[in-house]
Amino acid sequence: MRRIAVAGAGPAGLSAAQELRRLGYDGELVMVGAERHRPYRRPPLSKEYLLPGAGGVELPGAADLGASWLLGQPATGLDLPGRRLLRGRLPPVAYDGLVIATGVRARGLPGSDALPGVVTLRGLDDARRLRAALATRPRVVIAGAGFVGSELAATLRTLGLPVTLVGSGRVPLRRPLGERVGAIVAGLHRAHGVDLRLGRRVRAATGGGRVERVHLDDGTVLPADLLVPALGAEPEVDWLRGSGLRLDGGVVVDRWGLAAPGVAAAGDVARWPSSLLGGRTTRVEHYSNAVGQGAHAARALLGVGGRFDPVPSFWCHLYGHRLQSVGLTGAGYETRLVAAEPDGRFLAEYRRDDRVVGAVTAGFLRRLPDYRKLITKEYA
Ligand SMILES: Cc1cc2nc3c(=O)[nH]c(=O)nc-3n(C[C@H](O)[C@H](O)[C@H](O)COP(=O)(O)OP(=O)(O)OC[C@H]3O[C@@H](n4cnc5c(N)ncnc54)[C@H](O)[C@@H]3O)c2cc1C
């Protein structure tokens, strides 16, 4: 291959590019990124990046790749038979190999997104806006009690700001962690002074020129200066519609990681067949998966990769606890609390058909490698 293009200059795209070079690929590398930033880490954006004295988030290694960087302009289409990445009115990028790593975009709150004081959190520019807004010590409402909403609530409480967290489930993080672990997380939020409104949805934000009130679906009106919609994300695949690639809640790849001959996909945007799910496809929004699948995409393009079938894992930070998972977790599985301490430490395992498919812990990290081994063995 003489030229490999990478669409999406995030962690998955960078990891693919680094692995290509590591494997000795010495052809052209073209990195096409919608943001003007070189690859950076998003996880700190809901955590330490918002606290005083935070450092930078740029990922190391981008400058050493010998790549061309076409940043600040998204890929707008894919000419699959012609092997060209389209970029609106800009010249297309012809490629021999392509990595699709365009990630996801945050869902906003339709009708209220344009009101000053409504800030979604996905990218570095969002986090900078949010950080600037926090300097005025606002009353904050967070819509959505998933990972980003819950982490953000914890970080803002560390700053001593008044925070209302609104979640549509009976507990926070119900979908990814299930009721029992969600109840522990609810306890942590309450113990740290978060005003938790569960079983509710934010409908709109209103105010004279900027956010002053947030309206919930039960008619409650919350006074607020800042609303952060943390309502999940959608895969960035609109630009691929009509390209001929299979899109089904993400770019579908085969078990080798390829979406088409010469085209791999990786990271938050990619959906792959998983042994843990009996061969059904899954897509995860976890950092370590983005890095691992990015590297795998490089190997797939060079024809040296095996099957991509990892046991997924994620981490998240809440009030000084590091939550760490392995395997599949969530409301869809039977949850067993193996340990639950009054200080918020816990260990939970998830089962399907009486087999362990996943585990999550805060404070019992040393137990996770055994779960990983068990799950890997069961589903190999
Ligand atoms: C606030 C926050 C906190 C998080 N915390 C954690 C955590 O604690 N633990 C964890 O495991 N995960 C966490 N994540 C998730 C993790 O950051 C993602 O899994 C990871 O960034 C995915 O990497 P990616 O390269 O697939 O996608 P992204 O990081 O989204 O990068 C994709 C890049 O492609 C660009 N792009 C989009 N469309 C186009 C286009 N058409 N053309 C060109 N470029 C395009 C995007 O602008 C972006 O720069 C967090 C995410 C957020 C937002």
Question: Would the pTM count as exceeding 0.85?
Answer: yes
Candidate from 18, 32, 42 with most ligand 1 atoms within 8 A of CB, to mutate? 42
Question: Which of 191, 211, 229 delimits the end of a domain?
Answer: 229
Is 359 domain-assigned? Answer: yes
Is 311 domain-assigned? Answer: no
User: Could you tell me if the CB of 77 is within 6 A of ligand 1?
Assistant: no
> Cα separation of 139 and 68, whole Å?
44
User: Could you tell me if the CB of 250 is within 6 A of ligand 1?
Assistant: no
The token pair at 168 is: 């549509």
> Cα separation of 131 and 46, whole Å?
10
The reported pLDDT for the residue numbered 380 is 72
Is 87 domain-assigned? Answer: yes
Domain that holds residue 359: 320-379
- 243: CB partners within 8 A, 6+ apart: 77, 78, 79, 80
Q: How far is the CA of 325 from the centre of ligand 1 (A)?
A: 19
Predicted confidence (pLDDT) per residue in 221-274, tens digit? 999 999 999 999 999 999 999 999 999 999 999 999 999 999 999 999 999 999
Is the same domain home to 205 and 181? yes
Nearest CA to ligand 1 atom 50: 43
User: Could you tell me if the CB of 239 is within 6 A of ligand 1?
Assistant: yes
Is the same domain home to 279 and 325? no
Q: How far is the CA of 337 from the centre of ligand 1 (A)?
A: 31
Is the same domain home to 119 and 26? no
User: Could you tell me if the CB of 8 is within 6 A of ligand 1?
Assistant: yes
HEC sequence for the chain? CCEEEEECCCHHHHHHHHHHHHCCCCCEEEEEECCCCCCECCHHHHCHHHCCCCCCCECCCHHHCCCEEEECCCCCEEECCCCEEEECCEEEEECCEEEECCCEEECCCCCCCCCCCECCCCCHHHHHHHHHHHCCCCCEEEECCCHHHHHHHHHHHHCCCCEEEEECCCCCCHHHHHHHHHHHHHHHHHHCCCEEEECCCEEEEECCCCCCEEEECCCCEEECCEEEECCCEEECCHHHCCCCCCECCCEECCCCCEEECCEEECHHHEEEECHHHCCCEECCCCHHHHHHHHHHHHHHHHCCCCCCCCCCCCEEEECCEEEEEEECCCCCCEEEEEEECCCCCEEEEEEECCEEEEEEEECCHHHHHHHHHHHHHHHC
The reported pLDDT for the residue numbered 363 is 96
Is 313 domain-assigned? Answer: no
Nearest-atom number in ligand 1 for the CA of 34 is 44
The reported pLDDT for the residue numbered 258 is 98
Residue ranges in the chain whose pLDDT is less than 50: none
Q: How far is the CA of 79 from the centre of ligand 1 (A)?
A: 24
Is 143 domain-assigned? Answer: yes
Is 185 domain-assigned? Answer: yes
User: Could you tell me if the CB of 45 is within 6 A of ligand 1?
Assistant: yes
Is 309 domain-assigned? Answer: no
Is the same domain home to 9 and 113? no
User: Could you tell me if the CB of 75 is within 6 A of ligand 1?
Assistant: yes
Q: How many domains does the chain have?
A: 3
Nearest-atom number in ligand 1 for the CA of 104 is 30
**Residues 35, 23, 304, 328, CA torsion sign:** negative
Is the same domain home to 215 and 118? yes
Q: How far is the CA of 336 from the centre of ligand 1 (A)?
A: 31
Which residue reads 């790749």 in tokens? 65
Is the same domain home to 119 and 225? yes
User: Could you tell me if the CB of 267 is within 6 A of ligand 1?
Assistant: yes
User: Could you tell me if the CB of 316 is within 6 A of ligand 1?
Assistant: yes
Is the same domain home to 86 and 124? no
Question: Which of 214, 229, 244 delimits the end of a domain?
Answer: 229
The reported pLDDT for the residue numbered 331 is 87
Is the same domain home to 188 and 79? no
Q: How far is the CA of 207 from the centre of ligand 1 (A)?
A: 32
346-352 and 258-260 beta bridge pairing: unpaired
CATH code, domain carrying 64: 3.50.50.60
Question: Which of 248, 267, 302 delimits the end of a domain?
Answer: 302
Is the same domain home to 85 and 133? no
Is the same domain home to 67 and 155? no
97-100 and 263-265 beta bridge pairing: parallel
CATH code, domain carrying 331: 3.30.390.30
Q: How far is the CA of 42 from the centre of ligand 1 (A)?
A: 6
Is the same domain home to 287 and 188? no
Q: How far is the CA of 355 from the centre of ligand 1 (A)?
A: 32
> Cα separation of 81 and 126, whole Å?
37
Is the same domain home to 326 and 183? no
Nearest-atom number in ligand 1 for the CA of 102 is 34
Is 315 domain-assigned? Answer: no
User: Could you tell me if the CB of 146 is within 6 A of ligand 1?
Assistant: no
